[in-house]
Chain A
Amino acid sequence: MITPSSLAELREAVLSAPRVIAVGAQTKPRLAAVDAVKISTRLLRGITEYDPSEFTFTALAGTPVSEIIAALGERGQYLPFDPMLVDAGSTLGGVVASGLSGPGRFRYGGVRDFILGVRFVDGAGRLLRMGGKVVKNAAGFDLPKFFAGSLGRFGVLGEMTFKVFPRPASTLTLEVAGDAGTITEAARSRWELDALDVLPDSGQVVMRLAGPAPALQIIAREILAKFPGRISSDECWSNLREFRWAHLDGVLLKAAITPDQMAPLPGHRRHISAGGNVAFISLPDATALDSINLKAMTLRGDAPLWIRPRLPNAITKDVKNALDPDGRFPNLDD
């Protein structure tokens, strides 16, 4: 494990071994479980720029997301896409590389929708900047978005700039009985829900409202008149965010789905998120993988990284070569 403490050292680290992979707090260990020298971002830590009036901040890759959330919170702002595994220690770089967003992605989009710019080291050891530091920018190719979910296979992230929003005045959580039809109807409603998930244990639909408190009370009454349920506590969201519902030593998968793929399978624990667009699936072990009928990515546990992988197209290899000509980073399917 190499532990650079500056972006200059990060460049050296990339060039120090024939094959390297960056890791943060290793909260999604399967994503970096490859045969490569690990570069820890642990010492690349801290918010380097934050001006609340710009709705942006810039931070080093190893900065714990909890630190960022706290700093934003002090100024009444937040990351609307709800990063996952915050208490577990996940880092900003890990959030981007894994492309993992939480329930809040329902309303305004995921990590890919809030990343504005990156500084990263490519496979040739060059420290490069792509995107920008302002909330709106269309100059050059949008590599920052490409890095969201790229699993450190195309470059090592050093520093990132994000867009943030003012935090809503209050939130209110409702728990109702429902199914895919409930999700579809609620997602299209006038209520502008902040989050819309299905709880793993009870199968209850949870909705989060966000905005001025008096308005939320009225909207909540209308929702409960339509779907039987109750006002619940916000606690469920942190349980979901930290995967407290999942098998501790089992296999944890993420799949991109549509609401018609929500139907439960026996023996699986599942958290359906973002209005039926994400499924987090937990299995006690890899033996149950055969029953997975979705394309998925393994976050942790002893299973292949890609479940039901798509055949790679020629462009995947060519773009990989453009960013990493010597194959210093593992391939996506390594």
Chain B
Amino acid sequence: MPAAALQRLAALLPPERFLTRPVELAAYESDGLTAYRARPLAVAVPETADEVIALVRLCHELRLPFVARGSGTSLSGGSLPVTDGIVITLNRLNRILKLDPAQRIAVVEPGVINTQVTTAAAPHGLHYAPDPSSQSVCTIGGNVAFNSGGAHCLKYGMTSNHVLGIKAVLATGEVVEWGGASREHIGPDWCGLFTGNEGLFGIALEITLQLLPRAECFHTVLAGYRTLEQAGDAVSAVIASGLLPGALEIMDALALEAAVAAVHAEYPPGCEAVLIVELEGPRETVAVERERLDQIIDASEPVEARPARDAEERAAIWKGRKSAFSAVGRLSPDFIVQDGVVPRRRLGEALRRIGEMSREVGIRVANVFHAGDGNLHPLILFDGREAGALERAESLAGRILKMCVEMGGSLTGEHGIGVEKRDYLPDMFSADEIGLMQRVRAAFDPLGIANPGKMFPGTEAPALLQHGLHPLEKAGIISRE
């Protein structure tokens, strides 16, 4: 990269918002997939949509790769920088441009934090439904790029189901606007295609989100079971009953241990699994449905079932669940979070096989998952200081992914393919199908400069591949400058 090109980019922003010093770049080398890191040439910190457009257009002219980044919480390495490109960080485009309680929409910039949308909507009795576990830090721009999920997807869908309009700058520099304030559209669904593009099409500048009335009433039950299988059977019984819970979550023994250690969550003793079920709706509806749910849970013979008696108890249940990923950090210096999906009827079988694989290779796996939609989150624990440990953990992760696809599921329910799972894409899609996706990508980005190295296997990997930290670095003895 000639210095002249970098200088032209730098000229688009004030010097304090175009970072090139190693100490400044270090913070952007990695995202939620901490095993990978790569140092970009520079980090641009735009504050307006016009600045983003100018940056992308110049990158296009210079054929310079760029990686858009929000809060860097991607668990699939979706915002991992490329060493021959720049990072465009969008955190300062953090304005809620419009909140229309009558039409129940919010128009936001990409750097707005997920929970801030609900915070702004709450005084009007509204909320933004998608709730990834990282919602207190992750941005809407990142949610849109990766079609983030959360604990309420069975009933409410994913990010894509809540995006009504998008204004974006494509990798060609073209600025497009699709959809808008209406919940309906005519013609092809461009917002649907753009959402989940993993940063390969361009950068969203303004996003119109639908807001929903906040449910009036919740009934949240935490039930502990002696075996994981019993918890799984309880899920099947709830599904078969005709109820449509807002959430159906399971945590296994190791995940429970982590939540206890991290946030002092309390669970019934002697349980190998905990099920969380939540009903929501108008109070009259919940009153009828909770009776039915309580009967089903009773019949499933839990060690103990604890309905939340008030909002505080409900919040405590969710705190334990949502902290589970980071809580596992208490049990192990490193871990990989997997995100495969299996048909719900095969959940029990999938968990059994994960357990077998885990014992076979001697690697601990904690399970936290969205049981209602078959979305597994095996947390594969390893110690990156041990030679070959990361590779062994990744190998186990790969076997789990292949199992999910073989069972008729998916490589990813909500984290996206990113860098992490790109080599497994051919397990789910044929060469022709990947070819088509590459042609679609090329329509948006003929030069391949938008977030290169993500989603597609093999060739397109200009940088990355700096596995893990240096052992001395990890021990805090050295640090990169």
Contacts from A to B (Cβ < 8 Å): 51, 53-55, 76, 99, 101, 105, 108-110, 112-113, 122, 126, 128-130, 132-143, 145-151, 153-154, 165-167, 169, 184, 187-192, 211-212, 214-216, 218-219, 254-259, 274-275, 277-278, 295-297, 306, 313-315, 318-319, 321-323, 332
Cβ B375 vs Cβ A136 within 8 A: yes
How far apart are the CA atoms of A137 and B416 in the complex, in Å? 9
The answer to whether B433 and A128 have CB atoms under 8 Å apart is yes
- Which of these, B184, B373, B444, contacts A274 with CB under 8 Å? B184
Cα(A173)–Cα(B344), bound, Å: 34
Binary per-residue interface labels of chain B (385-427) against chain A in the complex, 1 for a CB within 8 Å, 0 otherwise: 0000000000000000000000011111111110001000100
Say whether A211 contacts B193, CB under 8 Å: no
A147 and B374 alpha carbons, distance in the complex (Å): 25
**B125 interface residue, CB < 8 Å from A?**
yes
Most buried by A among B125, B285, B409, B416: B285
**Beta-carbon contacts of B118-149 to A below 8 Å, as 1s and 0s?**
00000011100000000000000000001101
- Are the C-beta atoms of A313 and B188 separated by less than 8 Å? no
- Answer whether A322 and B439 are a contact pair too, CB < 8 Å, given A214-B284, A215-B284: yes
Of B13-21, B240-248, B324-332, which stretch is located at the interface? B240-248
A-side contacts of B182, CB under 8 Å: 256-258, 277-278
27 residue pairs from A and B, CB less than 8 Å apart: A55-B239, A109-B157, A109-B183, A110-B183, A113-B157, A113-B161, A134-B408, A135-B344, A138-B149, A138-B412, A142-B160, A145-B195, A148-B188, A149-B187, A167-B242, A184-B103, A188-B124, A188-B125, A190-B216, A211-B282, A215-B284, A215-B285, A218-B284, A256-B182, A256-B185, A319-B443, A321-B443
The 5 closest A-B pairs by CB, nearest first: A145-B192, A215-B284, A318-B443, A322-B439, A212-B288
Distance in Å from the Cβ of B400 to the closest Cβ of chain A? 15
Asked whether B186 lies within 8 Å of A99 as measured between CB atoms, the reply is: yes
A134 touches B184 (CB 8 A): no
**A122–B439 Cα gap in the complex (Å)?**
12
B161 touches A109 (CB 8 A): yes
Q: At the interface with chain A, which of B170-178, B261-269, B300-308?
A: B170-178
Residues of A contacting B153 with CB < 8 Å? 135-136
Q: Given the known A-B contacts A133-B408, A166-B244, are A139 and B425 also in contact in the complex, defined by CB atoms under 8 Å?
A: yes
Contacting pair B184 A256 (CB below 8 A): yes
Residues of A within 8 A of B186 (CB): 99, 149, 254-256, 295-297
A319–B125 contact, CB under 8 A? no
- Flag if A141 contacts B342 (CB, 8 Å): no
- Whether the pair A188, B425 counts as a contact (CB closer than 8 A) is no
- Known: A189-B213, A255-B186, A318-B444. Contact between A140 and B154, CB under 8 A? no
> Closest residue to B240 on the A side, CB-wise?
A53
Partner of A54, one of B103, B213, B339, B345: B345
**A332 near B188: Cβ-Cβ < 8 Å:** yes
Asked if B174 contacts A313 (CB within 8 A), the reply is yes
| Contact assessment for B189 and A149 in the assembled complex, using a CB-CB cutoff below 8 Å | yes
Whose C-beta in chain B lies nearest to the C-beta of A153? B188
Q: Shortest Cβ distance from B73 into chain A, in angstroms?
A: 15
Question: What residues of chain B lie closer than 8 Å to A184, measured between beta carbons?
Answer: 102-103
Interface residue tally of chain B, by bracket?
35 or more
A126 touches B284 (CB 8 A): no
Any A CB within 8 A of the CB of B69? no
Near A by CB (< 8 A), chain B positions 420-461 give 421, 425, 428-430, 432-433, 436-437, 439-444, 455
- Is there an interface contact between B158 and A136, defined as CB atoms closer than 8 Å? yes
Contact flag A258-B103 (CB < 8 Å), given A140-B429, A169-B242, A274-B183: yes
Residue of A with least CB distance to B183: A277
A219 to B172, CA, bound (A): 52
Output the least CB separation between A12 and chain B (Å): 17
> In whole angstroms, how far apart are the Cα atoms of A154 and B439 in the complex?
13
Whether B227 is near chain A, meaning CB under 8 Å from some CB there, is no
Tell me whether B192 and A128 are in contact (CB under 8 A).
Answer: no
The answer to whether A139 touches B188 (Cβ under 8 A) is no
Please give, as numbers and ranges, the residues of chain A lying within 8 Å of B172 by CB-CB distance: 314-315
Q: How far is the CA of A53 from the CA of B343 in the complex (A)?
A: 9
**Contact (Cβ within 8 A) A134 B342:** yes
Q: Is the CB of B192 within 8 A of A148?
A: yes
The yes or no answer to B25 lying at the interface (CB within 8 A) is no
Interface residues of B in 161-220 (CB under 8 A from A): 161, 170, 172, 174, 176, 180-190, 192-193, 195-197, 213, 215-216
Hey, which chain B residues are within 8 Å of A211, CB to CB?
281-282, 285, 288-289
Say yes or no: A141 contacts B196, CB within 8 Å.
Answer: yes
Contact of A297 among B187, B195, B429, B437 (CB under 8 A): B187
B55 interface contact, C-beta 8 A: no
Residues of A within 8 A of B126 (CB): 188
Residue of B nearest to A135 (CB): B373
Closest CB-CB distance, B157 to chain A, in whole Å? 6
Quick one: which of A126, A154, A165, A321 contacts B188, CB cutoff 8 A?
A: A154
